[in-house]
Structure 1
Amino acid sequence: MAQNNRVAIVDDEQDMRQSISQWLALSGFATETFGSAEEALKKVGGDYPGVVVSDIRMPGVDGMQFLKRLMGQDSSLPVVMITGHGDVPMAVEAMRLGAFDFLEKPFNPDRLTELVRRASQARKLTLDNRALRRELSDGTVLMRKLIGTSPAMERLREDILDLGQADTHVLIDGETGTGKTLVAHALHAVGPRAGKTFALASCAAHGEEELGQRLFGPTEEGLPLVEEARGGTLVLEDVEALPVALQARLLKFINDQGTPAETRILAICNGSDPEKSCEQTLRQDLYYRLAAMKLTIPPLRQRGEDVLTLFTHYADAFGEEYGAEPPQLAAQEAAQLLQAPWPGNVRQLINLAERAVLQQRRGTGSISSLLMADTQEDGETAPQVVAEGKPLKEYVEAFERMLIDNTMRRHRGSIASVMEELSLPRRTLNEKMAKYGLSRSNYL
């Protein structure tokens, strides 16, 4: 049962709370019952992953006092109040205090189910958004999202930690789909501005007038972004598309701040088209202010066996989402993944992993056919186009590492099971795990 389907039922009348519990359980909710508000408050509070259904008239702490206590801990917690005849004015006051809705006894059980379902959906959205905000302010979580053990990714993580602490403007360059916005989030989260405002605007998504208002004002939607981000971080995606007139305003904003800058700017440049690079499209004085520090995100074709690690990671995630077994790569398929040029980089690989899982669920198609379709769309004739040639030994080692890693995860670190499936003696398996940096403790 999903956590957000939980319902806490609070009523001093045992028959009433049991009948509500039984009805909601038949409707697919996981219920827990409490005979008093005092008892419920021991388990229900901020971040409660569900909905509260409470009677208004109860001895001790009544429903109104209970509601006030809950709203004080988490004002977005959905609370459905149940009222007796003549208690409607009290219920209206409960709505003013933050109750989700109310029902007057005797009520239609279907109406209760519908209310709780809507409240449950609202709660899920609130908790998802809350979790996302926490994640985007947690540098440790974000750094873990930068998956890969290639030298290029090791350097990138080290650079993010260094530049995050440097607290200067940074130009983030890289091809489409490499994860530049994720890197911007990480730079903010590992630096001294973590927890402060992180404002983001796409310079390619708006016309010049609309973008100017969004960045500098006036705007009817609140503060312009340069004011909203004051003291925090302002991220400009596709900064190469910034119109010339707005480049001048941005330069003035930067110059007026002095040193150190009150607002940090992270400028994201799409490096897929060499003829439209930031250095060519931005005025020179602005470019050198934004590129005080520069960070280039490596394309996927330069990340070696990270391709296999990423494919396995996302295939497992989509397999769980769709309730399907993720595809197990054959040696030929692994070689094709390693050799593919990946013009869409990680974003293209994620899409391919999702389609591979859907194919696996239907029992049709192959990863080779998906790669063939991708390369045909890119104007190539075969999926085995080699982006950057590597010795055969490197392909073999990459596949071997992936195979041991997948088998260890599937058997949850059981050395005996892995030895049996791969027909490897214990010493050989230990040597290969040490060679590839695989630790049994990571799979338990």
Structure 2
Amino acid sequence: MSRAMKVAIVDDEADMRQSISQWLALSGFDTETYASAEEALKGISADFAGVVVSDIKMPGMDGMAFLKRLMSMDSGLPVIMITGHGDVPMAVEAMRVGAYDFLEKPFNPDRMTELAKKATLARRLTLDNRALRRELSDGSVLMKKLIGGSPVMERLREDILDLGQADSHVLIDGETGTGKTLVAHALHAVGPRASKKFVTISCAAWSEDQLSAKLFGPAEDGTIPLVEEARGGTLCLEDVEALSHSLQARLLTLINESGTPPETRIIAICNEHAADKTLEDILRADLFYRLGAMTILCPPLRSRGEDILTLFTRMSEQFAEEYGCEAPQVTAQEAAQLLQAPWPGNVRQLVNIAERAVLQNRRGSGSIASLLMADNEASGPAMTTEGKPLKEYVESFEKMLIDNTMRRHKGSIVAVMDELCLPRRTLNEKMAKYGLQRQDYT
């Protein structure tokens, strides 16, 4: 299970701190409490992995001064302000300074949870994009992150290289968890705008008025509208299906005025739409045809064959290193179950299961099969998958077994021969068959 996003709660009243903390903890958040702004500043820094909930009226440094300090340190940090009755003008001023939103006492706890979830989504996207910008400085690194040798992944990488150079607007569609944000970054990194800014925003994480101000201005806090910040580079719109009709019209005007080739490239990502609807049904037709002239469809995990085993092995090895334990050894039966699973959550679901499998293995209990069963029950009726010949399952498992053993022995052919009880000629033939090369492990 992926680790919960943190919520820092800052309030000089102990009862209020405790009640907010308990409620949010019950909702799945990892909470930290602080009795003063000064104390909180010692525990909150730029790139803080969470959001902040703060009272406005506090002794010493009050909420407004605290908010200004946080914004100067990290303007992308969502801060939810709590105001007393009659302090709405102060709350409006806090929004102008950069607060994410505010709640007036007494507030509905469910409303607090709803705001915290939206702020968490916005924060996670901000941090993910910062990490990508720091880590992925060139397209070659990004392309290596698109792991897999299946035909659909080979085609995806080819599409990214082709459309990256084309420099037109692109629409990315696909099921949740298929890596659409990574593909968007790759499109930018392999194209002629790689040295320019890549600016991204989730259209679902903000209200219509907030999104309008952030995209087009005027922003009350004086920040540059994102369409200006991205000028000459790439503007990535996550959750484009959440755009209101009025904002779709403004976006279309921007595109029409941008010219050909466009001054600013737009990459639109669709993250969710009803099974009986396409994005063409959701967006106004003229906007859809401008954005969808070039389209990339990210393949679902269930269509990627043995990539499933490759990804599971890589992810479990990474988590094992992180947690300081051994990665679980996948049996033939478990490999078949991984290949046959419907994977409604796609790569994101696989990453979660790999982490939980490592934690189970550290405790010496549980199985991959039980994790898959629990996930499928939680996600509702399983999607059907086509059966495969036994030969394909056997070959996928065999490739995974040789790959894992080569990794563990750092390319030592003798050690692999001994562990798998294979003569050298047989091992060489199988490595050639599966495209495994010794130099990749040394």
User: Would the TM-score normalized by the shorter structure come out above 0.5?
Assistant: yes
Asked if 1:186 is matched to 2:176, the reply is: no
Asked if 1:210 is matched to 2:228, the reply is: no
Match of 1:387 among 380, 385, 393: 385
C-alpha distance in 2 between matches for 1:235 and 1:278? 17
Cα drift, residue 133 of structure 1:
2.8
Partner of 1:133: 133
Contact 1:208 1:243 in 2 (8 A): yes
Partner of 1:263: 264
Cα drift, residue 158 of structure 1:
0.8
Percent of pairs identical after alignment? 73
Partner of 2:431: 433
CA deviations 1:242-296 (Å, max 9, x no partner) are 1000000000000011111000000001256334432111000000000120000
Cα RMSD of the aligned pairs, angstroms, is 1.8
Partner of 2:408: 410
Partner of 2:232: 231
CA deviations 1:345-394 (Å, max 9, x no partner) are 0000000000000111111111111111101112248xxx7522211111
C-alpha distance in 1 between matches for 2:132 and 2:279? 31
Partner of 1:443: 441
**CA shift in 2, pair 1:283/1:131, >3 Å:** closer
Cα drift, residue 131 of structure 1:
7.2
C-alpha distance in 2 between matches for 1:172 and 1:416? 46
Partner of 1:370: 371
Contact 2:241 2:272 in 1 (8 A): no
Q: Secondary structure at the match of 1:315?
A: helix
- 1:373 is matched by which residue type in structure 2? A
Contact 1:307 1:337 in 2 (8 A): yes
Single out whichever of 149-158 and 271-280 deviates more from structure 2: 271-280
**CA shift in 2, pair 1:209/1:271, >3 Å:** closer
C-alpha distance in 2 between matches for 1:253 and 1:263? 9
TM alignment of 1:64-79, pairs within 5 A: none
Cα drift, residue 204 of structure 1:
1.1
Contact 1:308 1:337 in 2 (8 A): yes
TM alignment of 1:293-312, pairs within 5 A: 293-312=294-313
CA deviations 1:51-73 (Å, max 9, x no partner) are xxxxxxxxxxxxxxxxxxxxxxx
Cα drift, residue 130 of structure 1:
8.5
- 1:253 is matched by which residue type in structure 2? L
Contact 1:169 1:266 in 2 (8 A): yes
C-alpha distance in 1 between matches for 2:334 and 2:307? 15
Match of 1:401 among 389, 399, 402: 399
**CA shift in 2, pair 1:271/1:152, >3 Å:** farther
TM alignment of 1:349-364, pairs within 5 A: 349-364=350-365
C-alpha distance in 1 between matches for 2:266 and 2:387? 38
CA deviations 1:200-243 (Å, max 9, x no partner) are 01111111111111111111251111111000000001111110
Partner of 2:326: 325
Structure 2 stretches of 5 or more lacking a match? 1-127
Partner of 1:154: 154
CA deviations 1:272-323 (Å, max 9, x no partner) are 6334432111000000000120000000000000000000000000000000
C-alpha distance in 1 between matches for 2:212 and 2:135? 30
Q: Secondary structure at the match of 1:236?
A: strand
- 2:256 is matched by which residue type in structure 1? N
Partner of 1:281: 282
C-alpha distance in 2 between matches for 1:295 and 1:132? 20
C-alpha distance in 1 between matches for 2:274 and 2:199? 26
Cα drift, residue 181 of structure 1:
0.4
Asked if 1:314 is matched to 2:315, the reply is: yes
Structure 1 stretches of 5 or more lacking a match? 1-127
C-alpha distance in 2 between matches for 1:158 and 1:326? 32
C-alpha distance in 1 between matches for 2:245 and 2:390? 50
C-alpha distance in 1 between matches for 2:203 and 2:245? 12
Q: Secondary structure at the match of 1:270?
A: coil
CA deviations 1:109-140 (Å, max 9, x no partner) are xxxxxxxxxxxxxxxxxxx9997534333111
Contact 2:172 2:296 in 1 (8 A): yes
C-alpha distance in 2 between matches for 1:316 and 1:404? 15
- 2:386 is matched by which residue type in structure 1? E
**CA shift in 2, pair 1:185/1:434, >3 Å:** same
- 1:425 is matched by which residue type in structure 2? P
Partner of 1:171: 171
- 1:331 is matched by which residue type in structure 2? A
- 1:169 is matched by which residue type in structure 2? H
Contact 1:339 1:386 in 2 (8 A): no
Cα drift, residue 145 of structure 1:
0.5
Q: Secondary structure at the match of 2:295?
A: strand
Q: Secondary structure at the match of 2:411?
A: coil
- 2:258 is matched by which residue type in structure 1? Q
C-alpha distance in 1 between matches for 2:359 and 2:234? 39
Q: Give the TM-score, by structure 2 length.
A: 0.69
Partner of 1:338: 339
Contact 2:302 2:385 in 1 (8 A): yes
C-alpha distance in 1 between matches for 2:440 and 2:354? 23
- 1:225 is matched by which residue type in structure 2? L
Q: Give the TM-score, by structure 1 length.
A: 0.69
Partner of 2:58: none
C-alpha distance in 2 between matches for 1:152 and 1:374? 25
